[in-house]
Amino acid sequence: MNKYLRAFLATAIFIVALLLIYYIHMRYLRVDVVLYASILDALVALVVVFAGLHLLKWFRDFSRLELIQLGAIWLLGGYLFAISVPTVIDRSLSFYILEKLDQRGGGIREDAFRQVFTEEYVREHHLVEVRLTEQLQSGTIEIQSGCVKLTPRGKRLAGFSRFYRQNLLPTHRLLMGQYTDALTDPFRNSRMSSDYRCQ
């Protein structure tokens, strides 16, 4: 069997292992953050498949460089899966809109969407709890005496995000039939309905 076929079959085995490990992890084990857990699943699948195939002498004709490249491809594929499937479905407002339309019989009045987002989306998806948990696990915030504060790492990431948003996001983006730069500075007309800052 030539190396191309062996690499293809090994990759197919990796994909099956990744999906099986992911399923077991998501159904039966504790998960702090979906993205991080999915990336961990890719690492576990890589180790399990490489170890198993190595014991079967599957890679005997592969050079060290080829094995490193194969491992890198698998990890990139695992990362792509983690970002593109579970993380998108877990976080996506777009998927929520589709699911909510389906739940409500296939249609919702356009003028009701602000109400749906503020009164249903935030509550149903435990949005505040999920996002605060992710930021705590990422080390970008800390909570002290009921006050959520940026860590130095969080401050750096917020600065990077703000710079990227203002300088590298589209300045002519289509929003409901009109091209605008509104999302390059969403705080442009921001007002606090009440003073919720920590004292």
Residue 38: the pLDDT is 96
* Confidence (pTM): 0.79
**3-state secondary structure (DSSP) of residue 129:** helix
Instruction: State which amino acid sits at residue 111.
Output: D
User: What digits encode the pLDDT tens for the residues 180-195?
Assistant: 999 899 888 888 888 9
1, pLDDT greater than 80: no
In this prediction, residue 79 has a pLDDT band, given cuts at 50, 70 and 90, of very high
C-alpha to C-alpha distance for 106 and 100, rounded to whole angstroms: 8
162, pLDDT greater than 90: yes
88, pLDDT greater than 80: yes
Average of per-residue pLDDT across 137-151: 95
Place of tokens 């996001």: 169
Residue 159: the pLDDT is 95
**3-state secondary structure (DSSP) of residue 141:** strand
Question: What average pLDDT does the chain have?
Answer: 93
Within a 10 A sphere around the Cβ of 199, how many other Cβ atoms?
A: 4
Residue 192: the pLDDT is 85
